[in-house]
A and B are shown apart, each in its own frame.
Chain A
C-alpha cells in the first residue's frame, strides 16, 4: 500500500515552454501532498505544500506564478513549471501523506521527474 506515482518520469523541453508534472496517490487518499526539488548532490528542498481543495502554500523564495500547483482531488496534484528556463532543470519529487493508515505523519514519495530545459 501507500504507492505514489509521478508522470512523466523525465521530460526534455525547450526554454520558454510549460511543463506539467502529475503526482497521484494510487491506493490511498492524500489530503496533503508536497512538492520538492532536488539539484545534483543536494538534499530535498520543499517548494510547496498542496492541500486538496485549497491554494498551495509556497516556501519562501519559490515563485507561485511560475510553479503552479493544483490539488483538485484527493489522489491527484499537479505542478506546472511555466515558461521553463535552463535553471529550472532539476529532479522534482512529490510526496503524500496517508491520513487513514495510522501512520499519517509519514510521507510516501513518488519516483521523481527529471526535468531538463534546453
Chain B
C-alpha cells in the first residue's frame, strides 16, 4: 500500500534549527512536496524534490533520498510565524498526491 509517515508534533525554540522527517512508500514516484499550513488556512507550497539531494530556498531546505524513501524539511533561524503544520506529500505514478498527516511545529520564544 501507499503510506507517508511524519512525526505528529515537534517543538523548537525561536532562532534555532529544526528538521522534520518524512518517509514514504508509493506506487511509483514522481516527486516529494512539502507544504506549510496555518490553522484554518489552505496549504501553501514550500518545496518540490524529484532528484536526490538538497534544495535550498532561503531559510527552508528540503532533502530527498529516493533509494531510502526519505525526505526532510529543514527550517533555519526559526521565527514565531513558522508555527504551523508541515505536510509531506509524495506523488505516485498516477501523479496523485499521497499526503502525510502533517507535523505540527510549535515554536517557543
Q: A: which residues have CB within 8 A of B?
A: 34, 42-46, 49, 91, 93, 103, 105-112, 114
Asked if B100 and A109 sit within 8 Å, CB to CB, the answer is no
Contacts A44-B87, A46-B96 hold; do A111 and B42 have CB atoms under 8 A apart?
A: yes
Asked if B99 and A112 sit within 8 Å, CB to CB, the answer is no
Contacts A43-B100, A49-B96 hold; do A106 and B43 have CB atoms under 8 A apart?
A: no
Interface size grouping (class) on chain B:
20 to 34
Contacts A46-B96, A105-B95, A106-B48 hold; do A112 and B101 have CB atoms under 8 A apart?
A: no
- Contact partner of B31 (CB less than 8 A), chosen from A46, A105, A109, A110, is A105
| Per-residue contact bits, chain B 83-102, to A (CB 8 Å; 1 contact, 0 not) | 00001000100011101111
- Taking CB atoms, residues of chain B closer than 8 Å to A45 are 99
Question: Can you name 16 extra interface pairs (CB under 8 A) apart from A43-B101, A103-B48?
Answer: A43-B87, A44-B43, A44-B99, A46-B96, A46-B97, A46-B99, A91-B40, A105-B91, A106-B33, A106-B45, A106-B48, A109-B42, A109-B43, A111-B41, A112-B41, A114-B40
- Taking CB atoms, residues of chain B closer than 8 Å to A49 are 96
Asked if B99 and A105 sit within 8 Å, CB to CB, the answer is no
A10 smallest CB distance to B (angstroms): 10
